[in-house]
């Protein structure tokens, strides 16, 4: 996975952000297992995407008994969107 693109615009990460934008999913968030199942990849691959999005400030993990669930940070997403619209 060292060759995995390290940009927030990677298609896989955009799909994750889109899933988390769905109102039903946004409320409860997604676990690493949820993301792995939807992508059809092993859990470590899903965690790589989730950790990068978290490091960029686009996701926030919230603690649960069964592990963290990830939710979008709408304010940070708006900031990044604005940067791209301005021709970053």
From 19, 13, 87, 2, select the one nearest 55 (Cα to Cα).
Answer: 13
Mean pLDDT of the chain: 86
Report the percent of the chain where pLDDT is more than 90.
61
Q: For residues 46 and 83, is the Cβ–Cβ distance under 8 A?
A: no
Beta bridge partners of 30: 70
What pLDDT is attached to residue 84? Answer: 79
């Amino acid at each position: 996975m060292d060759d995995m693109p390290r940009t927030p615009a990677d298609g896989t990460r955009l799909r994750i952000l889109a899933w988390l934008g769905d109102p039903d999913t946004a409320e409860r968030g997604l676990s690493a297992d949820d993301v792995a199942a939807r992508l059809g990849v092993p859990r470590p691959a899903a965690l790589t995407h989730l950790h990068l999005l978290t490091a960029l400030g686009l996701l926030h993990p919230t603690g649960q008994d069964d592990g963290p669930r990830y939710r979008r940070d709408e304010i940070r997403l708006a900031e990044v969107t604005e940067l791209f619209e301005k021709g970053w």
